[in-house]
Chains A and B, each alone.
Chain A
Amino acid sequence: MFEKAHYYIEAEVESNIMETSRVNTLTLKLDRFINIKPGQFLMVWRPGDGEIPITPSLTQGNTICLTIEKVGFTSNRLANLKVGEKVFLRGPYGNGFNLEHPGKYLLVGGGTGAASLTPAYLKLVEKGVYTLFLVGGRNIENLVYVNKLREIKANIQIATDDGSEGFHGTLPELFKKTVSEDFFENVLTIGPEKMMFKIAEECLKRGMSCQVSLVRIVKCGIGFCGSCVLDPVGLRICVEGPVFNASEILGTDFGFYMRDEMGRRIEVTL
């Protein structure tokens, strides 16, 4: 309780790769090793630029990757960092995925979700668990992390809304069409909330276990400010989440409402 060696972990940008026009992947060298479970997140800070939660897209010793979509001021600044520049990390926070469930795994990653699910994929493959990875984007230009996944020879299937690569349609459509009722026991998903909601509903219908990683406005990151609470169940993304069992959150604000910076309930649009 009284340990305070550092406030933040210092990290230096080793490379910055453009994934799409809106998404970049930073490779960072950390000043010390931290053990990050797949699905946990870090708070990433640049003095003057703000601090946001990010689930790493790769963790390997003291090296991690962060795949960042430019959505606001802070993410834009972080995504445009140059080699040699510094960022500061605290965490890891949250629960991460439970990869101990027996059976085969299906991963469903939309947009940058494909990147955030990659550590879980690698862990499952390392454990010798059969895993299929569905990756989706609006079109071929908006697919994230596919090159990386091909490089590691991942077992992937691609869906694009306009059919410019792989299956012509959305990830839930690909899921319904190609995944037989009883082949996979477990589903993990990260991506746009409306997409995850459809996957979660389908899993519940089929009796499959489904773990969903939620995104909300995270402020304190340590559980007291209430900014990231999922109502009406009162689950905090930063402490009890960000990963929830679909059965635990279907019927809540999941898929419909979140809170804005002032704590007002607003509709989930994506």
Chain B
Amino acid sequence: MHPKMSVKLAGLVLRSPLIVASGVLGSSTRLIKKVSENPSVGAVVTKTVTYNPRPGYENPTAIDLGFGFLNAMGLPNPGYLEYRKELSEIKDLAIPLIVSIGPSNSEEAAEMVKALNDVSDGFELNLSCPHAEKLGLEVGSDPEKVRSIVSSARRCTTKPLFVKISPNVTDVVEIARAAVEAGVDAVTAINTMKSIAIDVNAGKPVLSNVYGGLSGKAIHPIAVRIVYELYEAIKIPIVGCGGVYDWRDAVELILAGATAVQIGSAIVYSRSDLNILNEIEKGIIEYLKDKGFNNVMEIVGLAHTS
């Protein structure tokens, strides 16, 4: 652990502000363990589990567009009870394990949080998946539903509670404020952008679900903009997420106001070689050294003039 990199986030002390984003690698317990052994990783977020088991959508469910991935997996998962069994097999993780849950209402949120509370170090509420019916964005675009789900989860745990919000709304600040008022500890921004890819030879949308979520390089400036907006509007920590490929991308989000940064697509592009996280960490440390900062927390939100 490098002293410059340790951050405090929502009651957690992270050895690094770099977090492995939901849906990447955090799917099998063995992969989670493997990820946690990398010293540059500060925390890991699991793939999203839902109340009921979901098979997800028919293939094609994902495509590499070069500048990012477009996916509509449809949140396939064995359901929270089955996943609880898997998570309980994870022992002695060196870093916090954040469990991503995708409730469709406050009752589901309460039951999932209660059931998973002792196998997690915190929760990230996925209220932003752009391609699942009655879940994710469908509840996450309504401030009242966000308020009711967050309050319900809040009542069931004292562990750090994150809410992952979507860029696919007119006013992200309104959604984030609803979550803050309902007691969330930090906001993760952003989830994927709702998108479509059409194969010109086939003449049809590639994804079986037609609509998918775009991640990767293409959405990075959108993430920076939303983190910047949120930093001006809310008082709780922000976790930046979206197209972080190198240390510059990470620093950009931190300067915009993020206390920590999640990384997803870049790990997939590097064929899951986690060295990319070491490279990003090294770059941030160099940057801090160059600019004369002692710790990464000193640069959070520095891009704001006020």
Interface residues, chain A, CB within 8 Å of chain B? 1-4, 6-8, 10, 31, 43, 45, 47-48, 50-52, 74, 86, 88, 90, 219-227, 229, 231-234, 236, 239, 260-264
Contacts and interface: CB of A to CB of B under 8 A. Distances in A.
A263 B202 contact: no
Contact of B62 (A6, A8, A219): A219
Most B C-beta atoms less than 10 A away, residue of A86, A219, A223, A239: A219
B236 interface: no
Contacts of A260: 55
Nearest to B61: A219
B208 interface: yes
Interface of B: 23-25, 27-31, 33-34, 47, 53-56, 58-67, 69, 71, 73, 76-79, 82, 197, 199, 201-206, 208, 217, 264, 267-269, 271-272
A7 B206 contact: yes
25 contacts: A1-B67, A1-B269, A4-B67, A7-B199, A8-B202, A31-B201, A47-B204, A47-B205, A51-B208, A52-B59, A88-B202, A219-B56, A223-B272, A224-B23, A224-B25, A224-B62, A225-B61, A225-B73, A229-B28, A231-B30, A260-B55, A261-B56, A261-B76, A262-B53, A263-B27
Contacts of B33: 234
A31 B201 CA distance: 10
Contacts of B269: 1
A231 B28 contact: yes
A256 B56 CA distance: 24
A193 B25 CA distance: 25
Contacts of A225: 23, 27, 61-62, 71, 73, 76
Most A C-beta atoms less than 10 A away, residue of B29, B34, B66, B202: B202
A226 B31 contact: yes
Given A51-B60, A52-B59, A226-B47, 15 more contacts: A1-B66, A4-B65, A7-B199, A50-B60, A88-B201, A221-B62, A224-B23, A224-B62, A224-B71, A225-B62, A231-B29, A233-B30, A234-B30, A263-B77, A264-B53
A222 B47 contact: no
Contact of B76 (A43, A52, A263): A263
Contact of B55 (A6, A48, A90, A261): A261
A209 to B, nearest CB: 25
Given A7-B63, A229-B31, A232-B29, A263 B78 contact: yes
A234 B35 CA distance: 11
Contacts of B47: 226
A41 to B, nearest CB: 13
Nearest to B267: A224
Contacts of B34: 234
A166 B199 CA distance: 47
A2 to B, nearest CB: 5
A86 B204 CA distance: 13
A220 B34 CA distance: 21
A262 B79 contact: yes
A10 B69 contact: no
B23 A43 contact: no
Contact of A220 (B53, B54, B62): B62
Nearest to B47: A226
A234 to B, nearest CB: 3
B53 to A, nearest CB: 4
Nearest to A90: B63
B73 A219 contact: yes
A217 B24 CA distance: 17
